Structure 1
């Protein structure tokens, strides 16, 4: 029944329309319908509020400026519900007063029948009075629930006792028994048919009406009383069990919903604490929170005692996240404003310097401004693009003017570069020719290279590397020639030593072996020192080159001594 009722109301307008209708109606609204309408309204109200916020953010709205608008529909709903609540309280009070009056009336009827039962000899004479009392009993309405069962039992007890006392007028008694049996049999059949009723809530309420009617019907023949009551009670048990199972299923579903909603609360609480470092991360987590809210809407009610509490827990977690997000973007806007102010100051300084002709000093200042620009944080793209164009324009204006003024210097540097390239080519040709005057010609070209002036800054390192590469080739040729001459001299010396005797040769070998071990130790020391040199600085790079040249020379000496030892052997 609840599911079908929910489907009737898909919008808040429909819920409010029904609430107003109940408020204006003369009928007393049912408690179940009022509670359902109340739950549905706030469920739809929450969904609408979240959708408005999502739409606002999707359209690029500023979270800081978002304000929850006053909702006229909520005021209308509360106003109508107040009227309904007042009506129900008034009707409830009237019903309770009427039930108390009915209680007194029925107690009076029971006392009268009780008096008839104590006078067996008068039973037949007072039969008509007894029937009048039964008719009055049926006309009287409900009594308080706490008195209903006990009163009905007392009434049935004394009615049955009165019938048992009847000796005369048996035809009337048998006629009553027959009519009562027909009425109770009909009630049994109606109760049994309720088992086929799809709406179990409606079936349960119909059964209560049948029970009330069953109580009002008089007794049947004594030998059929237990049989009829057992049949009616069996039909009632079927409906009562279905009714009980229905609410157990609802409670189980509500507990399942509570578990699901608790899990969503835990996820929302975790997201509300997540540290986001930039706008992209905040938007990513926002999507996760909105997804949780969308999933929440698909889950039904939790148990009544927890339904409001679990919703408040979820709402607080979501609100906490959006409050932190709002604060983040507020602080980000403040940072952006401060950064924009700093960049504007740099733009102003660059514009002041852009027409200066003090090329060197102003260029250093301009480069310092560019360095400071890079260190300043982000600003909004539109503002940032505009500031950058102004800043870049001022810088370009200065450097273009400087370049125009220094064009002559650059031409000279290009000529120097070509001269040095020509010298490098000559050095490479010397290495290939390897003539006898190789060293003398190399020194002349070195002096010539050093006399050439500056080259373009971007080409400086490359021409330097090419120059030293050519020199290294010549040094290798010179070293090879030197080692060859030294080896030839060594062979002559060994032959002379051999003529002096075996001892002289051994002494020379021992001397060479000691020298070899010493050079190996020096080589190891040089190689260890290479690891401590930093090639990031100009000084470190020069020292590294010198150390590498010493290492290579030492390796060549080691190889030469090894050959000398081998020659002796």
Structure 2
């Protein structure tokens, strides 16, 4: 459509048509009134029916006139009828871009306006929905709405193709506008000449030849702006009819033209009436438009006797076609109603999915796929009635947004939980890294195993941190346990050697015979104990050699009449020496804690046994059960005494160490004083 029109010329044409047409109508209608028979008293129903019929005719004629006006502006305009308008609503944004590109590159720019407008409308709706979806995700992930930006490749491609279309369209209309306005001015001049023919005093044959020349010039005058098309043609035909009325002085010339025009218009009427049988409704309506164009542009008026009758036949044929289209659109409306029900059902499914969000990632991903399937089904469901189109689209978008809001709320909570898990794992990682170089093997090994178990109980962390934190934790644990295994492998060889040495020591102890001198024998036995302790640990599966050694010692102590407590303290004395020589405060604390725990265990065991003995208060002391309990109590008391003696010896040893340390610190000071 041209943006800049010659409004002055248009107003001149419209004013001329209105005044002259009114005058002509008044003359014609006054003549009709005189010929009519008396009307019945009540014609209200007839008038209503007539008004409706005329309104239908006027609507379809107006539609055809507007379409022909558009085609008349450029001979290539009519191609738009042959370019199918696809279901753009069912297309994805990418497919819409592809279809727009195909139209712009392959079709005449003036023939694709409706197609481009439809594509742009659907693309804008889909992109807005897509953009809102991305914005919700951005905000759900902690982003600030004001910071939201999204660079869409598809949108950029669409803008590029649409810009190409606009450039082509603007260039086309810019080149077309000047030519159309020149043609309009030329046609108005021709109308003015035609109007002046009835006022020229000359031979009628000369006037008629001038008239034919004007008709020929009119046919070759070229296209004019579509806004002026119908008014200019009405004015032109109006003056044609006036000229033929003027030709009453030469009926022969006029009647020949009238006869020829009538024959041609009858052919058009017959073609229009035959279109009722054409199955392809769109093709039939396009041909009807062509017939109207020929009627208006190529064929002149007929005599008054046939003028109204022939037009009535042509209009009725047009009305039949219009009714066929109305019926088609009614059927189409039924399809649209069915599509509406489909879309309502789809919207309801989306609402149901959105109101029951899954509680785990896997199921939620399935729901997301289900929503995408429903979205595709919605766009493929077809068009709905125009009056509910916007509301249906709004309901659809709100249903999808409702799902997205609930989905984002789930992932927001999941993100918080994963962040908490990340913090917990970072704490364990720090602890593992702090222990990886420790040499307190017993305590650290237990702790490392504990934090490994705890790590397994902690859930997922954010994906971008998952691999790194796991690798760091695994490396810290592997570093420690590799060191531990290396030491154990080394120790295994030493333990085997220790076993061989202890086995030799055990054999010597077995062969030992008492001399009869108790002190001498005890000194020898102590040397055996010191030698045994000096060899260290043996392989775990051969630890029973220690029990064999103690069994032989107990037998020897028994022969020497040495009590169990005395023998235990003798064995313990060697351990105290090692603790004293190690100068390890931590080992002393650990040993003290161990002995105190054993003392507490013995006390608890004695209390429990004594409580059990109360159940036998009325039972004879000769009862085997009573004897067994008493025996256990005595044994626990003996054990308790041994542990207390060990604690005493430990305290003595520790006090001696402290005293020696004080003396060592005082000696330098004393020498300085001297």
TM-score (norm 2): 0.45
Give 5+ residue unaligned stretches, structure 1: 50-61, 410-415, 428-438, 455-569
| Aligned 1:382-393 pairs, distance under 5 A | none
- 2:301 pairs with 1:219: yes
Give the conservation status (yes or no) of the 8 Å contact 1:265–1:317.
no
Q: Displacement of 1:378 after TM fit?
A: 1.7
Secondary structure in structure 2 of the residue aligned to 1:447? helix
Hey, what does 2:208 align to over in structure 1? 127
Q: Displacement of 1:231 after TM fit?
A: 1.5
Give the conservation status (yes or no) of the 8 Å contact 2:100–2:161.
no
Q: Deviations over 1:54-105 (max 9, x none)?
A: xxxxxxxx9x9xx98863x754553333232122233335545544444433
Q: Displacement of 1:230 after TM fit?
A: 1.1
Give the conservation status (yes or no) of the 8 Å contact 1:343–1:387.
no
| Aligned 1:371-382 pairs, distance under 5 A | 373=454, 377-379=458-460
Q: Displacement of 1:446 after TM fit?
A: 6.2
Q: Deviations over 1:420-439 (max 9, x none)?
A: 9xx9xxx9xxxxxxxxxxx7
The 2-side partners of 1:43 and 1:158 are apart by 50
Q: Deviations over 1:198-221 (max 9, x none)?
A: 554454444333222211211123
Hey, what does 2:161 align to over in structure 1? 80
Secondary structure in structure 2 of the residue aligned to 1:356? helix
Distance 1:368 1:168, change over 3 A: closer
Give the conservation status (yes or no) of the 8 Å contact 1:106–1:140.
yes
Hey, what does 1:19 align to over in structure 2? 101
Distance 1:338 1:269, change over 3 A: farther
Q: Displacement of 1:229 after TM fit?
A: 0.7
- 2:209 pairs with 1:209: no
- 2:442 pairs with 1:356: yes
Hey, what does 2:491 align to over in structure 1? none
- 2:239 pairs with 1:152: no
Hey, what does 1:335 align to over in structure 2? 420
Hey, what does 1:139 align to over in structure 2? 220
The one of 254, 263, 269 equivalent to 1:173 is: 254
Q: Deviations over 1:486-518 (max 9, x none)?
A: xxxxxxxxxxxxxxxxxxxxxxxxxxxxxxxxx
The one of 306, 319, 336 equivalent to 1:237 is: 319
The 1-side partners of 2:176 and 2:414 are apart by 59
Secondary structure in structure 2 of the residue aligned to 1:218? coil
The 2-side partners of 1:323 and 1:215 are apart by 64
The one of 421, 429, 447 equivalent to 2:626 is: 447
RMSD over aligned CA atoms reads 6.1
Distance 1:450 1:330, change over 3 A: same
| Aligned 1:30-429 pairs, distance under 5 A | 30-35=112-117, 38=120, 71=153, 75-117=156-198, 123=204, 125-167=206-248, 169-216=250-297, 217-243=299-325, 278-280=360-362, 282-300=364-382, 306=390, 310=394, 327=412, 330-344=415-429, 355-356=441-442, 373=454, 377-379=458-460
Matched residue count: 407
Deviates more, 1:329-338 or 1:257-266: 257-266
The 2-side partners of 1:309 and 1:161 are apart by 56
The 1-side partners of 2:195 and 2:152 are apart by 66
Q: Displacement of 1:180 after TM fit?
A: 0.9
Give the conservation status (yes or no) of the 8 Å contact 1:271–1:285.
yes
The 2-side partners of 1:201 and 1:135 are apart by 33
Distance 1:122 1:309, change over 3 A: farther
Q: Deviations over 1:5-40 (max 9, x none)?
A: 549999958964873673487764421333355568
Give the conservation status (yes or no) of the 8 Å contact 1:336–1:379.
yes
Name the structure, 1 or 2, with higher relative contact order (CA <8 Å, separation 6+): 2
Hey, what does 2:524 align to over in structure 1? none
Give the conservation status (yes or no) of the 8 Å contact 2:87–2:382.
no
The 1-side partners of 2:216 and 2:250 are apart by 19
TM-score (norm 1): 0.52
The 1-side partners of 2:266 and 2:420 are apart by 86
The 2-side partners of 1:318 and 1:120 are apart by 85
Deviates more, 1:179-188 or 1:75-84: 75-84
The 2-side partners of 1:130 and 1:2 are apart by 38
Give 5+ residue unaligned stretches, structure 2: 1-80, 132-140, 144-148, 486-538, 548-597, 599-604, 634-674
